Amino acid sequence: SLLLAVFFIVGYCFCFCLPKCSLWITIFLYHLAGSFLLKEIIFCKTGDIFGLYRGDGPKYHDFAPETVGWSWNKTTYIQDLAVDDWGFPALLRGLYHWSENPEQYFSLLILANSFCVAASSFFLYQAARKLLEKQYAKIAAIIWGLSTYALFSTVHWLKENFFGAVIVLALYGLLDT
């Protein structure tokens, strides 16, 4: 947890000094590097890609290869999942099409999560600019993009970064009209 705090502080200081166009690339690279680093630490400490926090990640991982040949409708209706979990296995199914190797698959998931976090930071900045001064909008985007919880949810196979991106995009769309 100290490593994550230091990682966040260094990332925050670095991001705040950057111009806006470089900020999104930096958030993407920060999240990508932080996720791979945290994944390796968890694996080295526990010997398990999911670590000690079991959550929904293993369940999502088990469903992904099972659903590769399914239709979209069948994928979004899986008996063992709650309604709020139906969409994520469908997304994972798409990633699983590219690679069935768990290590490569997990790397693709980290890449997709990093893109989601950077994109949602960008759209959060755009939405916040309609409500706040420029520097406060930038601070909000940096805090969102460098969130240690985003790293945690990435390495534990959780859907929160994708769901957060959908909410930010909805907010941006609402404020952009």
pLDDT tens for 119-159 read: 999 999 999 999 999 989 988 998 899 888 888 888 877 88
Is the Cα torsion angle 135, 141, 145, 146 positive or negative in sign?
positive
DSSP state of 81: S
Mean pLDDT, rounded, of the chain? 80
Give which of 172, 158, 168 is closest to 35, Cα–Cα.
Answer: 158
- The predicted model scores a pTM of 0.80
Say what the pLDDT of residue 72 is.
Answer: 56
Give which of 11, 7, 2 is closest to 142, Cα–Cα.
Answer: 11
